[in-house]
Structure 1
Amino acid sequence: MGLKIKKISGGYVGNTVLKDVSFEVANGEIVALIGLNGAGKSTTINHIIGELQPQQGTLVLNDVSLSQQPTAFKSQIAYIPEQPILYDELTLGEHLHLMLSAHMIDNTLTWSRVLELLKIFRLEDKLQWLPTHFSKGMRQKVMLVSAFMLNAPLLIVDEPFLGLDTLAQKDVVRLIREQSEKGNSVLMTTHLLASAAKFVDRFVVLRDGKVSFSGTPTALADAHGLTLDSLDDFFDLMQEATDET
């Protein structure tokens, strides 16, 4: 099971960004959706989380259809956006309780997990802080705690390393791997391909709103004459190919 995207076309009013996009993220699999800016990564994510309605195609998560059972579909997702979204009037603790209440899991057992995550990201003494006191990196850590505490069947992470220090990046990788080991699906976007190649199972490449490649990190490197350590050069190759067309 897991996430199945079949022949999705869509985008915004007057602008079709995605064109017949199909790929899957199996249970326990970590997939990185990559491509140049404007390739359709954010548009794809917005369709998965239900912010955009596809012009055609289907999205199914663990046999639940987004179009037929939108609430049940979305309840299976934990989403970490590229830019943190926090309420200025709520403390960190209030943010976390609100999220847990929305998912109807605000209990002692779950809060124990929250406290573990807060300690990992060095936020355990910030429960009474308002967002105005948080740095950009701290705001991102709040979003990470909010998502990982849910143990959702599908975790979507848009640029997980943005604004994080090296230690926090390592923590994120470990937590993503833990999600996979639990059998949850993970879909992420990143521009740090060499780093992602160390833990993702598969890359899905978008180019001009279409899937141009799907395969292991080794397969992607081999297809373009690169090594895993030089995979960050892949975007230079994509840009060169775009400039030539």
Structure 2
Amino acid sequence: MSDAPVLQVTELSGGYSLNKPVLHDINLQVQPGEMIGLIGLNGAGKSTIMKHILGLMSAHKGEITVRGKTRTADPEGYNGALSFVPESPLLYEEMTVREHVEFTARAYGVDQNDYESRSLQLARLFRMEDKMDTLSSHLSKGMKQKVMIMCAFVARPALYVIDEPFLGLDPLGIRSLLDFMLDLKKSGASILLSSHILSTIENYCDRFIVLHQGRIITSGTLAEIAASSGHQGLTLEQLFYELVQGGE
């Protein structure tokens, strides 16, 4: 497995206005086979970082590479190397679950045999077998979220960018998603995961990046962050509270 980071963000500053950046000098990387938890309060800049990675926003300064490629120099290679699960489901109302998954697989150039085996696996995993031919407009919010997850995972890119995926999922869906992400990680995939449910991700992520007011205030394993801040023995949620309160 290569030691080069799958995702490299260097000196990134950006936001919605040139005169008022949301992000300030963000440096982060995600290695092959690594799951990183990006955590912060509402408005800290987590989704803004993800939008820059996805190319939905242009950086004021800095550089983002995925597998060594920039979106400007190699848009096809860059975009094909990542997959995204948004916080809110975005589906075509007149398409079925099966059509969404197949459409995504075709967009990523997934082989037909791989598509069939993966879609079947995902339908079983998320208990959507009886919904595959249902229009998305007839699904509950939780089921719509499962469709977004299935679409992201039917491809096998190097990097998964996942923004608050647990909203709307039932406990079985959350557990299935976490277990599947662990399997992906073991196969060498990289995951950047944003979540407010810190007790859920504490035992799944390899490292954490704590974002506050558009800046990274600390990063590392739970033990490393606890040691550097002098708060050993705390849970991730307790540690986050201490860090953010101190950063106000």
- TM-score band by shorter chain is over 0.9
Structure 2 residue aligned with 1:144, among 143, 149, 152? 149
Identity %: 36
CA distance in 1, matches of 2:170, 2:230: 30
* 1:161 alignment partner, one of 161, 166, 179: 166
Pairs aligned (count):
242
Please tell me whether the aligned partners of residues 224 and 234 of structure 1 are also in contact (alpha carbons under 8 angstroms): no
Determine if the alignment matches structure 1 residue 73 to structure 2 residue 73. no
Aligned-partner SS, 2:41: coil
| SS at structure 2 position matched to 1:137 | helix
Counterpart for residue 207 of structure 2: 202
> Aligned residue for 1:63?
68
Structure-1 separation of matches of 2:69 and 2:245? 40
SS in 1 for 2:129: coil
Residue 10 of structure 2 corresponds to which residue in structure 1?
6
Partner of 1:34: 39
> What does 1:36-185 align with in structure 2 at a 5 Å threshold?
36-105=41-110, 107-185=112-190
The answer (yes or no) to whether the contact 1:58–1:66 under 8 Å persists in 2 is no
Q: What secondary structure, in the 3-state scheme, does the structure 2 residue paired with 1:64 have?
A: coil
For residue 5 of structure 1, what is the amino acid of its counterpart?
A: V
Q: C-alpha displacement at 1:242, in angstroms?
A: 4.9
CA contact (8 A) 1:92 1:131 kept: yes
Deviations 1:193-225 (A, max 9, x none): 222121100001111111111100222344362
The structural deviation recorded for 1:144 is 0.9
Question: What is the rounded CA distance, in whole Å, between the counterparts of 2:189 and 2:64 in structure 1?
Answer: 17
**SS of the residue 2:191 aligns to:** strand
- The answer on 1:241 being equivalent to 2:246 is yes
Indicate if the aligned counterparts of 2:86 and 2:162 stay in contact, CA closer than 8 A.
Answer: yes
* Residue 186 (structure 1) aligns with: 191
Question: Which letter does structure 2 place at the counterpart of 1:48?
Answer: I
1:225 — aligned with what?
231
More displaced stretch, 55-64 vs 43-52? 55-64
- TM-score by length of structure 1 reads 0.93
Q: Which residue of 1 aligns with 2:219?
A: 214
Q: Distance in 2 between matches of 1:108 and 1:52?
A: 35
Q: Distance in 2 between matches of 1:43 and 1:91?
A: 30
Give deviations 1:56-105, integer Å, cap 9, x for gaps.
Answer: 11111111122321221111111000001100111111111111111122
Helix, strand or coil at the partner of 2:15: strand
Distance in 2, Cα, partners of 1:175 & 1:27 = 16
